[in-house]
């Protein structure tokens, strides 16, 4: 990747080189007349944290099999999720970093079967490719869901049904996509597009002339007219240091996986979500970097650090949690609910050696009734952290993404799941704000033609 001469003033400076930072870097370079852009990344490469393929489930969450999405929400997510697909097709990345898999939402038991049937009716106009698969169809396309024994002779007693498709792009290596976004941005030679690695931002100040001064751990200082902080779990940490977002805290929820020993499921199998715990239901996903072995998960465990598999970040966790009576009230409200309490406890046990695998298998048998402890291994080194946002004013755990925009030339984005799917949509929002603030021109026609349907 190109690295240009060190110049320390830019029109726009982006902090964080995960998929969110890379998507904004690309959109600004490609669709605006910004003169100079800089991306500062703490580590030695792009996407070494949550956007890396082994950290997340690699799914394009469009809204068709995500049973916690309402139809209205799915209309919005469809547009932004399609941007990921359109970007990959535009640069011929299909079957290289983006793949088609069969995918489905599975209903188990009478109540869930009715739920899937009525959801199918409601969603089939928005997603016309969706099919309803009964037990006979599932016997041929995903037989492990149907039988209670490995020889596949005994059908599970409870009714099952699924809504799904096998015609769509479903899976992306978001780490490779981060690289592709940066490479394509740097091909646009009219714009200065610098990236500095091993550059950790420690503080940001707004100067009297309204521009920003960004201080880094290595002693370097950068200035910019507009700054966007896409630093994942560290976005709120940096916001707090500037005095913004004090009404929020962040709870780092680690997600781990279990991996099968060989090819297992033919496609992605998601389950009906509990509305109290969206995105908490386990799913099975063929891993595109592991010969199609199936990854089951993710689990959910609060970790006292902001970065998985990296040393440090405990104090950053403490500061970002922003503990006070409002945060304690949020925890209390969560723990008061028996379902949530059971879920938290179970997920804690999923990380305890010796008993974890057995317990996890019991849960995952809702998807594959014949699953045994021999079929799976704890996927060491896989998984990441979802920085869930805590809203102190409402005393609520927010389940989606959040953004702090004081409207003075700086934005902080917090991106728990499914932040990778919405990277280009979130970038669009920030880009439009930057265009307005700096008086840039924006090639709206080109943007809509390239990235939307
Ligand atoms: C278990 C799990 C499963 C998931 N599954 C899915 C899925 O299937 N589909 C989906 O769409 N999403 C999924 N997600 C969510 C998705 O992975 C994230 O939303 C997305 O990767 C966030 O990207 P990001 O660029 O905002 O943050 P990150 O990928 O965390 O990147 C932040 C970057 O900022 C850098 N940085 C941090 N601090 C500083 C600093 N001070 N100075 C400079 N740089 C800094 C970091 O080094 C990093 O490169 C999942 C997440 C988890 C944990």
Mean pLDDT of 419-425: 97
pLDDT at 279: 66
Mean pLDDT of 404-424: 96
Average pLDDT over all residues of the chain: 94
Q: Does the beta carbon of 54 sit less than 6 angstroms from any atom of ligand 1?
A: no
pLDDT tops 50 at residue 3: no
Q: Does the beta carbon of 409 sit less than 6 angstroms from any atom of ligand 1?
A: no
pLDDT tops 50 at residue 1: no
Q: Is the pTM of this model over 0.85?
A: yes
Q: Distance, CA 201 to ligand 1 centroid (Å)?
A: 17
Per-residue pLDDT of 392-404, as tens digits, reads: 999 988 888 899 9
Mean pLDDT of 81-105: 97
**Starting at the edge strand that comes first in sequence, how are the strands of the sheet with 160-165 ordered?**
131-133, 160-165, 102-108, 267-271, 283-286, 293-297, 258-263, 376-378
Per-residue pLDDT of 309-338, as tens digits, reads: 998 889 999 999 999 999 999 999 988 988
Q: Distance, CA 351 to ligand 1 centroid (Å)?
A: 22
Q: Tell which atom from ligand 1 comes closest to the C-alpha of 19.
A: 25
Q: Tell which atom from ligand 1 comes closest to the C-alpha of 17.
A: 49
Q: Distance, CA 343 to ligand 1 centroid (Å)?
A: 24
Residue of the CA atom closest to atom 3 of ligand 1: 56
Mean pLDDT of 189-193: 94
Mean pLDDT of 184-205: 97
pLDDT at 240: 97
> Are the C-beta atoms of 148 and 156 separated by less than 8 Å?
yes
How does residue 343 score in pLDDT terms, banded at 50, 70 and 90? confident
pLDDT at 349: 87
Per-residue pLDDT of 11-46, as tens digits, reads: 999 999 999 999 999 999 999 999 999 999 999 999
| Residue 264: half-sphere exposure toward Cβ, Cα within 13 Å | 28
pLDDT tops 50 at residue 5: no
Q: Tell which atom from ligand 1 comes closest to the C-alpha of 420.
A: 11
Q: Distance, CA 160 to ligand 1 centroid (Å)?
A: 34
- What sign does the CA torsion over 67, 70, 75, 77 have? negative
How does residue 7 score in pLDDT terms, banded at 50, 70 and 90? low
How does residue 6 score in pLDDT terms, banded at 50, 70 and 90? low
Q: Distance, CA 10 to ligand 1 centroid (Å)?
A: 24
296: left (phi over 0), alpha (psi -120 to 50) or beta: beta
Q: Does the beta carbon of 17 sit less than 6 angstroms from any atom of ligand 1?
A: yes
Q: Tell me which residue of 342, 376, 348, 346 sits closest to 361, measured CA to CA.
A: 376
Q: Does the beta carbon of 252 sit less than 6 angstroms from any atom of ligand 1?
A: no
Q: Does the beta carbon of 40 sit less than 6 angstroms from any atom of ligand 1?
A: yes
Per-residue pLDDT of 258-299, as tens digits, reads: 999 999 999 999 999 887 776 678 999 999 998 889 999 999
Residue of the CA atom closest to atom 27 of ligand 1: 232
pLDDT tops 60 at residue 4: no
Mean pLDDT of 370-390: 94
Q: Does the beta carbon of 42 sit less than 6 angstroms from any atom of ligand 1?
A: yes
Count of beta carbons in the 10 Å neighbourhood of residue 444: 11
Q: Distance, CA 142 to ligand 1 centroid (Å)?
A: 31
Mean pLDDT of 105-111: 97
């Amino acid at each position: 990747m190109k690295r240009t001469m060190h110049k320390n003033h830019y029109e726009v400076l982006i902090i964080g080189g995960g998929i969110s930072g890379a998507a904004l870097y690309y959109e600004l370079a490609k669709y605006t007349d910004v003169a100079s852009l800089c991306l500062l990344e703490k580590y030695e490469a792009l996407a070494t944290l949550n956007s890396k393929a082994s950290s997340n489930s690699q799914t394009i969450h469009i809204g068709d099999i995500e049973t916690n999405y309402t139809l209205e929400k799915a209309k919005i997510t469809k547009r932004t999720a399609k941007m990921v697909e359109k970007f990959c097709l535009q640069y011929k990345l299909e079957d290289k970093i983006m793949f088609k898999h069969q995918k489905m939402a599975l209903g188990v038991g009478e109540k869930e079967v009715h739920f899937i049937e009525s959801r199918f009716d409601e969603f089939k106009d928005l997603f016309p490719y969706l099919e309803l698969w009964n037990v006979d169809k599932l016997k041929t396309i995903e037989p492990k869901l149907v039988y209670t024994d490995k020889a596949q002779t005994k059908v599970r007693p409870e009714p099952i049904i699924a809504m799904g498709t096998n015609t769509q792009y479903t899976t992306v290596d978001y780490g490779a996509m981060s690289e592709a976004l940066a490479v394509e941005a740097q091909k646009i030679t009219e714009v200065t597009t610098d990236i500095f690695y091993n550059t950790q931002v420690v503080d940001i100040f707004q100067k009297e002339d309204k521009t920003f001064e960004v201080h880094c751990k290595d002693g370097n200082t950068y200035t910019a007219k507009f700054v966007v902080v896409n630093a994942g779990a560290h976005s709120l940490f940096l916001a707090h240091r500037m005095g913004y977002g004090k009404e929020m805290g962040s709870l780092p929820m680690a997600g781990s996986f279990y991996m099968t020993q060989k090819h297992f499921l033919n496609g992605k199998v998601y389950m009906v979500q509990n509305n109290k715990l969206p995105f908490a239901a386990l799913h099975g996903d063929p891993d595109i970097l592991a010969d199609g072995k199936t990854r089951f998960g993710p689990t959910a465990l609060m970790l006292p650090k902001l970065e998985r598999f990296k040393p440090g970040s405990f104090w950053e966790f403490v500061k970002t949690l922003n503990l006070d009576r409002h945060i304690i009230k949020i925890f209390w409200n969560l723990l008061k609910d028996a379902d949530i309490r059971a879920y938290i406890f179970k997920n804690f046990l999923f990380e305890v050696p010796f008993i974890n695998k057995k317990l996890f298998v019991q849960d995952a048998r809702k998807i594959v009734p014949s699953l045994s402890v021999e079929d799976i291994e704890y996927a060491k080194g896989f998984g990441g952290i979802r920085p869930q946002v805590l809203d102190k004013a409402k005393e609520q755990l927010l389940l989606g993404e959040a953004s702090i925009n004081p409207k003075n030339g700086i934005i902080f984005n917090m991106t728990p799941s499914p932040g990778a799917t919405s990277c280009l949509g979130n970038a669009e929002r920030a880009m439009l704000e930057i265009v307005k603030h700096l008086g840039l021109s924006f090639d709206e026609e080109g943007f809509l033609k390239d990235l939307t349907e």
